[in-house]
Structure 1
Amino acid sequence: MNFKLKTPAEAVRLISSGDSVYIQGSTSIPEVLVQAMTDRAAELRGVKIYSGFAVGRADAPYCRPELRDSFLVNSLFVANNIRRHLAAGDGQSIPAFLGEIPGLFRDGTLPVDVALVNLSRPDAEGYCSYGVSADLAVSAVDCARIVIAQINRAMPFSYGDAVIHLSEVDAAVEVDEPLVEVPTATPTETETRIGRYIAELIPDGATLQIGVGGIPNAVLAALKDHKHLGLHTEAMTDGVLPLLESGVIDNSLKTVMPGVSVASLALGSRRLYDYMDYRKDLVMKDVAWTNDPFRIRQNPRVMAINSAVEVDLTGQVCADSVGQRIISGVGGQHDFMYGGSLSEGGKTFIAIPSTTPRGESKIKALLTPGAGVVTTRHMVQHIVTEYGVAHLRGKNLAERARALIAVAHPAVREELERAAAERFGHSFLRIK
């Protein structure tokens, strides 16, 4: 490996003005390389940055307003380290399902000149791993002319698509940089109630797709007495570890890669990263593979559990914006909601507290102006709050409104009833 070892400053000399640069995400942003690239700002112009889902320690240095002529920020998922800057206009987001972005790289719609990645140390045969972030990294590296890598002692070695030989790396920098750790969210009483409602609807032998946060952790905690669950998900978190370690998740009834847990990225604690290291019954795959709805549907009883910012009375789901302000991205919600709905015995859930931390209802007569629809009303099956489950599948719009009002916060139900009566008339009023 020594012939490719460089200092960070030397490695990023391979980036030229006008290049398109992909930066690996999840909890593995190659921070040393990113800072070295940013330090060259005075020499660079028009470098287009592609970033996906990521959790950064601090704001991305290349987003600073004074560097906007050097770096053109294009987010494929608005992450915490760039959110404030994009809201201020110092960058833009590209709407896309996470699962379709590898195709945009591969067909040249989004050309990639340089990939900055954070890799594990090589094994005896010279193979490194993308570790916690196969998602977009696999396709970006496949398409890049130049691959610049941090070889990181802290990165676990994961299998699947997340493997690259050192011969494919053009410049390498050795680092010992701890991965960002995402604290395990302890479910609140409200989230625990939501989790129990969902768990009651999940059968033994189901295949789980589950997101990040208090509600997903509450669902997982409520599944401890289930049997023969499988895992085929976009994001893997600490919440699944008790179920893996106890054997509740054994992947024995999956059709796609039976016996193996499948994810595209991971974010959590050091305990999760250590669990992943050189574990052959857990693989990380290209997000175009994990999120393909027609692959997802091949598994039996897929349970797709996702969240939202707000939901309207017809079941439209906004999950990526607060009004006009983009706060995240579509991610894989639509892919798994679609794949789950097609799966034999599959079910899909949107799980939300009835109100925001400010006390505003998350179930609204109409979405906030500017809000983006991530999952259409045609796709939604169950909306779950701490007040119960609204079963929407096969219901007309007036019936949906009645079901959603029943799980809204009591303080807003009268207001929502008036809005529904005005919108749907007798069709709504006759439903008891």
Structure 2
Amino acid sequence: MTHYRYDQAEIPKLYQAKLMDADQAIRSLAQDVNFVTFGCYAATPVALAKAYAQAAREGYFKQVIDTYLFRCSSQVTEFFNDPEVLESIHLMLPFIGGEIGSLLKTARNHLDKVQYPEYISGHFSHMESGFLTQYGDPDLHMFQVSPMDENGYFSFGLDGSFSIPAARRAKRIVVEVNENMPRTFGDGIIHLSEIDAIVEHNSELLRLPTKAMTDNDHRIADFIIDSIPDGACIQLGIGGVPDAVGKYLLDKNDLGIHTELMCASLIDLVKNGNVTNKYKNIHRHHTVFNVAMLPDSSYYKVMDNNPSMLCYPASYVNDASVIEKIDKMISINSFVEIDLLGQVASESVAWKQITGTGGQVDFVRGASASKGGKSFLAAASTAKNGTISKIVPRLNNIVTTARTDVQHVVTEYGCVNLAGMSNVKRAKALINLAHPDFRPSLTEQAKAMGLIR
């Protein structure tokens, strides 16, 4: 049983007793492990990741280690981007794309030598109940935290998504204390007594640059914004459309936030005074998130030591039964492709995984079931400079969101609520959301499929 020590005179001594450098931590705690997990996004520990990769390169581990690695900085992925490292560890990846893609390329070029990384699909809300059920409790979990307070508590800061459940279940825990990590609240705290080793290392937090918004992003946002009332609770995904909606929300009042990703648009709303959270049914007066990725340190400072910022695991934040309890819950996410039946692909292109399953379905289901809530899936109608339609007859892709879950679909040509529509009506409605150049061929193919006459 863990005993928390609250004697403030003893806390610094215990801290110093557990303090070591990253190489010491890895070589004292990781040699005989089978399953290692890392914190996600800005919580991936830079010094520990480097030491772990170096130990793998030197053949230090007794066996090949299953290693969970989520999206992280290019600096971290570079440590692993070596066939000698990938020979000693077996990467388990719930996210493909971005910096992670370089690891797959290296693995493909050395198939005779490496442990090829495996992709793990699953809703973000199921990472604990799915992934950890399959692989069991981690032998070692490593993640970044904010500096300890006078009572011996560290904050998980910017990632509770997987770090919280992994830390609660791990047999050993190593934290990397980063002075740049904001201190947030909620479920994302851990006491010194629960930790096996402490490493101190200051590094720049993972940043998510903002992209310039297109004219289509603004047109799509125009179709959405009037459906968002004052007092609504907001979830925004990644992309130009959510960013554009965020800008339009600067005219709204008393908004709430319950979101998977804490992004720049949401912080702008907090800074501008649009967010009060006063009408939320649960966690009133608090912003709830499980991951934060922001463009620069000024955004992270808004979150630091801010008692309104609550960090919880994805198993809670993304739980549709939790989301639906919040009145006027508005969810806005993007898609890659949608077919005339309403099936949505949001994580792949031509069957190739380009990102992760994420929490789209979690929020689609939760917001759609919320009293006064709405779910929007939005994207420009075409790709590749207008040469490819994102609205297709049949989905030739991995399904992310089932047709039975989809509610509002939006392109620059309008917004339609597919919920409750017959196949005939939804096919016609989706054809009208397509670019005019593709509507004749979509109509002919819909006829050939027997969807319309």
**TM-score, normalisation: structure 1:** 0.94
- Structure 1 gaps of 5+ residues are none
| Cα distance, 1:338–1:348 mapped onto 2, change above 3 Å | same
Contact 1:106/1:143 (CA < 8 Å) preserved in 2?
Answer: no
| Cα distance, 1:92–1:178 mapped onto 2, change above 3 Å | same
- 2:167: which partner in 1? 141
Deviation at 1:390, TM superposition (A): 2.6
Amino acid aligned to 2:237: G
Q: Match for 1:78 among 93, 96, 99? A: 96
- 2:60: which partner in 1? 43
Q: Distance in 1 between matches of 2:282 and 2:74?
A: 32
The yes-or-no answer on 1:6 pairing with 2:24 is no
| Cα distance, 1:68–1:26 mapped onto 2, change above 3 Å | closer
The yes-or-no answer on 1:64 pairing with 2:82 is yes
Render the CA deviation track for 1:256-290: whole Å, top value 9, x for unaligned: 11111110110002122111100001111111111
Render the CA deviation track for 1:97-125: whole Å, top value 9, x for unaligned: 11111224665644311111011111111
Contact 2:71/2:99 (CA < 8 Å) preserved in 1?
Answer: no
Q: Match for 1:304 among 331, 334, 338? A: 331
The yes-or-no answer on 1:321 pairing with 2:348 is yes
- 1:232: which partner in 2? 258
Q: Distance in 1 between matches of 2:257 and 2:267?
A: 11
- 1:21: which partner in 2? 36
Q: Distance in 2 between matches of 1:115 and 1:79?
A: 23
Contact 2:46/2:76 (CA < 8 Å) preserved in 1?
Answer: no
Q: Distance in 2 between matches of 1:36 and 1:424?
A: 59
Deviation at 1:152, TM superposition (A): 0.6
The yes-or-no answer on 1:342 pairing with 2:360 is no
- Structure 2 gaps of 5+ residues are 1-14, 109-115
Amino acid aligned to 2:253: K
**DSSP-derived class of the 2:66 partner:** strand
Deviates more, 1:258-267 or 1:318-327: 318-327
| Cα distance, 1:9–1:19 mapped onto 2, change above 3 Å | same
**DSSP-derived class of the 1:402 partner:** helix
- 2:398: which partner in 1? 372
Q: Distance in 1 between matches of 2:443 and 2:185?
A: 52
Q: Match for 2:322 among 295, 303, 311? A: 295
Deviation at 1:61, TM superposition (A): 2.7
**TM-score, normalisation: structure 2:** 0.90
Q: Distance in 1 between matches of 2:370 and 2:450?
A: 32
Q: Distance in 1 between matches of 2:286 and 2:119?
A: 34
Contact 1:234/1:290 (CA < 8 Å) preserved in 2?
Answer: yes
Amino acid aligned to 1:381: Q
**DSSP-derived class of the 1:367 partner:** coil
Q: Match for 1:272 among 299, 302, 307? A: 299
Q: Distance in 2 between matches of 1:232 and 1:113?
A: 32
Deviation at 1:18, TM superposition (A): 4.8
Q: Distance in 1 between matches of 2:97 and 2:179?
A: 25
Over the aligned positions, Cα root-mean-square deviation in angstroms equals 1.8
- 2:391: which partner in 1? 363
Contact 1:104/1:110 (CA < 8 Å) preserved in 2?
Answer: no
Amino acid aligned to 1:43: Y
Deviation at 1:357, TM superposition (A): 3.7
The yes-or-no answer on 1:421 pairing with 2:447 is yes
Amino acid aligned to 1:201: S
Contact 2:68/2:91 (CA < 8 Å) preserved in 1?
Answer: yes
Deviation at 1:34, TM superposition (A): 0.7
**DSSP-derived class of the 2:42 partner:** coil
Q: Distance in 2 between matches of 1:240 and 1:399?
A: 35
- What count of residue pairs does the alignment treat as equivalent? 425
Deviation at 1:65, TM superposition (A): 3.4
Contact 2:54/2:85 (CA < 8 Å) preserved in 1?
Answer: no
Q: Distance in 1 between matches of 2:23 and 2:173?
A: 15
Contact 2:361/2:400 (CA < 8 Å) preserved in 1?
Answer: yes
Deviates more, 1:115-124 or 1:58-67: 58-67
Q: Distance in 1 between matches of 2:164 and 2:77?
A: 25
**DSSP-derived class of the 1:149 partner:** strand
